Amino acid sequence: MADTVWERWRLLPRLVALLWSVDRRDMVLVAALAGAAGIGPLVTIILLRGFIDSAVMMVQHATPLNPTLMWLGGLVLANLSFGLVGLLNQSLNEDIQQRLQARVQERLLVKAGRLPLVNFEQPHRFNHLHQASRSLDTHLMTTLQALTLLPASVLTIVSLTLYLTATNGWLPLVLVIGLTPGALLLQRYYNARYHQERTRTSTERLGDYVRNLIIERPAAAEIRLFGLQAHLSGWQQELRNTLRNDRLGLVRREARVNMVGSMLTYVSLGLVMLGGVVLVTLGRLSVGHLAAYLAAFQQLAVTYNTLFWAILFADGDLRYVRDLLNYLDLPEEAFEDRPYQATEYPSSPPIIHFENVSFTYPGSDRPVLVGITFTLHPGEHIALVGENGAGKTTLAKLLLGLYRPTSGQIFIDGGALEDSTLQHWRTQVAAVFQDYVRYEVSVRENIGFGDMHCIDDLKAIQTAAESSGASTMVDLLPRNYATILGKSYDETGTDLSAGQWQRLAIARAYLRNAPIVVLDEPAAALDPLAEVEVYRQFRDVAAGRSVLLISHRLGSARLADRIIVLAEGRIVEAGSHVELVEQGGHYADMYRMQAAWYR
């Protein structure tokens, strides 16, 4: 998208719509208060002129005191009223902005949860999320603050300009000419600041990553063992220095711009004041008129500056808000928003057929999978084997609907998978990933996340734990299923071994009770005896279900009805263990190499 003033300010209707969606009544009230605040300076200046002229007349010509007191009372009342209007407007704006920030934060989190998984495989998408989060935390609020100043500032400028023009038409022009160059310089500065901040996003993320390595728990042991503290600290210092130097350059440039703008403003105000004195000596202005005249110009200069700053802040920050809105506009997965129905589970596993499926990650020209064709029959157990990088996990994620094929199709009982709603399809599948998540919450929640409809069903959770072999470990924990796991956020939390965490991940998959199960290295963190026990229990749990098992340990692959061998993204062999060993191909070579370690 082109970075033009028009492209930025055309976002304004969307921001107004967002504000309107928060609270219509408060928005109408804010608009009314802005109108009152905008006309306030003109009213107080007119009252000031009347008060001073009346006071001068009273002193010079002994006129009655009452008119002077009335002008003074009106001036005091106006200042109090408009001051109250400003405070009320500020309070309402703050409340609306906080509610808007909460609403947009919710939308941002929902968006992150609805984006296709492939977005999280691309570094530039993480940059987009980082930029969107930064825009929400800072730039959205400053944009709204700037925009709320615009109506009142414009009304003040128009009313005061008309008032001053009636006295002398050319003096307001002097002020405008004096203020404009500073505003243009500021605009150029904000353009430069935005583009510099965009280019340093990756450096900021890298700095955050290195800092978190140093201060957080997961890497603490290795950092101490390998003596990485000095290296990582030095690296983080270099990144911080780079970012600091960039920011200092911007600060110096901003200071120079502000200095030039201030000098031009003071010169133009001096010329205006000199013009006012000349008009008094010519008898064209009274003393009260001069005071009002100078006060009006002072207020006009302040309001011009406020307006320029508001426009420049808004124009600069709208770039960041555009990042936020662009992120919210990214294509989502085809979710269907409707209540979950238990009857959506099929009575038996469907026929799953891959037809000439290929997959390439966006931004890459190297396919991960090429021409994959096979059928997973109802209740069949297929083992997927191959070297690292062969595409096994990618194929599993295609089956789960986490990725979409670049070409080819996946059919479910004869219907294309893309024609199914993801919400419905994902009720039919369960998975244990190799990079399973360690949720630092209670044991009950750790398992319950497998099926949110069972998260309060302790009996179902206990059954899943028994099926995965996790129940023995849970029974030994301080508070059993209520025990908080991990110590990052709760000092009373309990640490688990990698194998114990993996058993919880397996229990999470079992809780779903889905007819299709994908197991990606489900026993990678387990010792040999525990692995045997897990697979024994798995045989019982998986009865009647369709299973796709990914494993580097070919001994476990023998449990499958059929073995598919992947190499460089293609199916190179398929058959039973006995058949593949007799063929003497890839599988046989891998099997002999692994078997040699046990002789």
What pLDDT score was predicted for residue 378? Answer: 92
pTM above 0.75? Answer: no
What pLDDT score was predicted for residue 237? Answer: 85
Where are the domains positioned within the chain?
15-200+260-328, 347-428+520-599, 434-513
Q: What are the tens digits of pLDDT across the range 130-163?
A: 666 666 666 777 777 777 778 888 888 888 888 8
Q: What are the tens digits of pLDDT across the range 92-122?
A: 877 877 787 788 778 877 787 777 777 776 6
Topology alike, domains 347-428+520-599 and 434-513 = yes
C-alpha 132/C-alpha 136 separation (Å) is 6
The domain at 434-513 falls in which architecture? 3-Layer(aba) Sandwich (3.40)
Neighbours of 64 (CB within 10 A): 10
Comparing CA positions, the residue from 424, 390, 395 lying closest to residue 410 is 395
The CATH number assigned to the domain with range 347-428+520-599 reads: 3.40.50.300
The CATH number assigned to the domain with range 15-200+260-328 reads: 1.20.1560.10
What pLDDT score was predicted for residue 421? Answer: 64
What pLDDT score was predicted for residue 126? Answer: 61
What pLDDT score was predicted for residue 375? Answer: 93
Max CA distance (Å), the chain:
124
C-alpha 44/C-alpha 312 separation (Å) is 28
What pLDDT score was predicted for residue 343? Answer: 36
Instruction: Look up residue 432 and give its two tokens.
Output: 């244990």
Helix/strand/coil (H/E/C) assignment for every residue in 220-281: HHHHHHHCCHHHHHHHHHHHHHHHHHHHHHHHHHHHHHHHHHHHHHHHHHHHHHHHHHHHHH
What pLDDT score was predicted for residue 337? Answer: 45
What pLDDT score was predicted for residue 476? Answer: 92
User: Which ranges of the chain have pLDDT less than 70?
Assistant: 1-3, 5, 121-138, 167-172, 175, 183, 187, 191, 194, 197-200, 217-218, 221-222, 224-226, 333-347, 419-422, 523-534, 597-599
Comparing CA positions, the residue from 480, 478, 396 lying closest to residue 434 is 396
C-alpha 138/C-alpha 234 separation (Å) is 29
Instruction: Look up residue 373 and give its two tokens.
Output: 């064709």
What pLDDT score was predicted for residue 317? Answer: 75
What pLDDT score was predicted for residue 3? Answer: 61
What pLDDT score was predicted for residue 483? Answer: 92
Instruction: Kindly list the distances between the CA atom of residue 221 and the CA atoms of 155, 176, 211, 237, 298, in Å, as whole numbers in the listed order.
Output: 63, 64, 15, 21, 64
SS3 494: strand
Question: What one-character DSSP code corresponds to residue 219?
Answer: T
C-alpha 366/C-alpha 368 separation (Å) is 6
What pLDDT score was predicted for residue 374? Answer: 94
